[in-house]
Amino acid sequence: MIKGSEEVEQKVLEKIVPDKNDRLRLETTIEELKTIVQKHTQKIDFPIVIELVGSTAKDTYLRDNLDIDLFLCFPPSTSRGELERIGLSIGRKVLTKREECFAEHPYLRGEFKGYKTEIVPCYKIESVSQKLSAVDRTPFHTQYIQEHLLESQKKEVRLFKQLLNGIGCYGAEAEVEGFSGYLCELLVLKYDSFQNLLLHTQHWSYGKQLSLHTGAFPRFDTPLIFIDPVDGDRNVSSALSKEKFDFFKKACIKYIKKPRITFFFPSKIKPWSLDKIGKEIGEKKFFGLKIKKPEIIAENLYPQVRKAMRSIVDLCIQYGFPIADSFFHINNDSVYIVLHPKKSKISEVMIHMGPPVDLKTNADNFVEKWINNPRTIKKPFEKDGRLYVEIKREYVDVKKLLEEQIRNLSLGKHIDLIVQEGFTILERRDLFKENLCMLWTEYLDKKMPWER
């Protein structure tokens, strides 16, 4: 037992466990949705089985945070093109505020009677070994949890999900890089209860291996490895980043030491004033790239923004501008990638190291390249058995480097297109604006969510 946790967790459960009215409204809505979808599937020449999956089917959903996930299970003989066409067509007829998403094939996300709802086409298979796409195994996940999770453990799952919600680690989507709902359920199955799970978590290290069955572990280079009990070749925790793994461990250790309801329901972060931000930043130099936000779903946007940030940092380092820190911010219409270079301007001349002189071919090529190069200040010379040359840098100002080289980088499929249309390099004075106070607050506020 974690000392002082019982009262806290009881209060949390009162907030997150659905009551009779919540359940009745949800169940009525699901039945109505199934009926409408079935009317559409009956017009198709072959049978399509409708299956409810996810947390609503497993009764592990949170009162104010749930999705209705309805799978349309097609016969394996259906072509991929037909599966996609029919699945999307039904989704468009049923859902409002919809958007097309993509896993291995497209599906629809939207709303039905006020509930976030997904309608996903998949193949109806008899075993996971027959899967034709990754989503085909999802009904097996639902079935496994329904058969193995005890009624008493459902509240343990809900507590765990809400803790992760509170610390920003719930969700396997690219925006979060955290714990999926299915992983939460498996962890409770593994450790029996919420508290026992947290007590074990504090001792985890990178590469921790977990499974509900005995046997060899496939190799995965991820912070946490949990072998899927319905598909032994799959790591359920593959989406979990090292950052979120470390943060989760830290939160668990702090909660065990001093349980508080703010771990589950933290106060919202309040934007700092420009004066406070300016005082905290001091004289540090910052530069930013501002582009129009691509009109793509978050699952595609966030990986591309992270890739773009890494590419820009690598570019700066390549040209002699080491980066002390970097971060990004996405709002309704723009993406900002912000850099804190250790130096924004560097010397015009640099010593460029060549190969050892005893590697004759390499040495000759080095001399040939630089002997009459217009950038050469001092011709190739030998020192301690290696060749060097003194050359003029291509860039001495990081802003000019970014302005001239950004378009030459591989930043991500959609971001590349946006950058070709146009971008803005922002200096410090351009970044300290009222509309960017939240950007700076999120970067500078070192308080943990539960401390706010």
The CATH number of residue 376's host domain is 3.30.70.1550
Q: What is the mean pLDDT of residues 235-255?
A: 96
Shared-domain flag, residues 193 and 227? yes
pLDDT at 45: 87
Asked whether residue 24 is assigned to any structural domain, the reply reads yes
Q: What is the mean pLDDT of residues 340-365?
A: 91
The CATH number of residue 299's host domain is 3.30.70.590
315 falls in which pLDDT band (50, 70, 90)? very high
Q: What percent of the chain has pLDDT over 70?
A: 100
Shared-domain flag, residues 222 and 292? no
The CATH number of residue 123's host domain is 3.30.460.10
Q: What's the pLDDT tens digit per position in 358-399? A: 998 999 999 999 998 999 999 999 999 999 999 999 999 999
Asked whether residue 234 is assigned to any structural domain, the reply reads yes
pLDDT at 417: 95
pLDDT at 168: 96
Shared-domain flag, residues 299 and 416? yes
Q: What is the mean pLDDT of residues 42-70?
A: 94
Q: Is the pLDDT of residue 103 over 80?
A: no
* Average pLDDT value for the chain: 93
Shared-domain flag, residues 311 and 357? no
Cα radius of gyration (the chain): 27
Walk across the sheet containing 224-228 and list its strands. Answer: 208-210, 224-228, 231-235
Q: Is 195 left (phi over 0), alpha (psi -120 to 50) or beta?
A: alpha
Q: Are 247 and 169 in contact (CB under 8 A)?
A: yes
pLDDT at 83: 93
* Rounded Cα gap, residues 235 and 435, in angstroms: 41
Shared-domain flag, residues 299 and 446? yes
Shared-domain flag, residues 337 and 418? yes
* Rounded Cα gap, residues 164 and 173, in angstroms: 14
Asked whether residue 12 is assigned to any structural domain, the reply reads no
Q: What's the pLDDT tens digit per position in 134-168? A: 899 999 999 999 999 999 999 999 999 999 999 99
Q: What's the pLDDT tens digit per position in 414-431? A: 999 999 999 999 998 899
Q: Name the packing angle between helices 413-421 and 298-318 (round to 10°).
A: 70
Shared-domain flag, residues 262 and 188? yes
Query: CA dihedral defined by 108, 110, 113, 114, rounded to 10 degrees?
Result: 150
pTM of the model: 0.88
Q: Is the pLDDT of residue 184 over 90?
A: yes
Asked whether residue 7 is assigned to any structural domain, the reply reads no
* Rounded Cα gap, residues 357 and 364, in angstroms: 9
Asked whether residue 373 is assigned to any structural domain, the reply reads yes
Instruction: Decide which of 104, 126, 146 is a domain's last residue.
Output: 146
Q: What is the mean pLDDT of residues 19-28?
A: 96
pLDDT at 69: 96
353 falls in which pLDDT band (50, 70, 90)? very high
Residues 6 or more apart whose CB falls under 8 angstroms from that of 341 comprise 285, 287, 316, 321, 322, 323, 324, 398
pLDDT at 411: 94
As beta bridge partners, residue 340 has 325
Q: Is the pLDDT of residue 85 over 80?
A: yes
pLDDT at 419: 95
Q: Are 255 and 264 in contact (CB under 8 A)?
A: no
Instruction: Decide which of 102, 129, 146 is a domain's last residue.
Output: 146
Q: What's the pLDDT tens digit per position in 185-205? A: 999 999 999 999 999 998 999
- Tally of structural domains, the chain: 4
Residue 79 lies in domain: 19-146
* Rounded Cα gap, residues 105 and 136, in angstroms: 11
Shared-domain flag, residues 292 and 334? yes
Lowest model confidence (mean pLDDT) among 81-85, 272-276, 289-293, 297-301: 297-301
Instruction: Decide which of 94, 125, 146 is a domain's last residue.
Output: 146
pLDDT at 128: 86
Q: What is the mean pLDDT of residues 266-282?
A: 93
Asked whether residue 2 is assigned to any structural domain, the reply reads no
Asked whether residue 371 is assigned to any structural domain, the reply reads yes
Shared-domain flag, residues 60 and 162? no
Shared-domain flag, residues 126 and 197? no
Q: Is the pLDDT of residue 129 over 90?
A: no
Q: Are 388 and 353 in contact (CB under 8 A)?
A: yes
Q: How far is CA 184 from the centre of its chain?
A: 17
* Rounded Cα gap, residues 28 and 22, in angstroms: 10
345 falls in which pLDDT band (50, 70, 90)? confident
Asked whether residue 76 is assigned to any structural domain, the reply reads yes
* Rounded Cα gap, residues 235 and 226, in angstroms: 5
pLDDT at 277: 94
Shared-domain flag, residues 109 and 28? yes
* Other beta carbons within 10 Å of 143: 15
Q: Are 175 and 298 in contact (CB under 8 A)?
A: yes
Shared-domain flag, residues 77 and 115? yes
Q: What is the mean pLDDT of residues 173-191?
A: 96
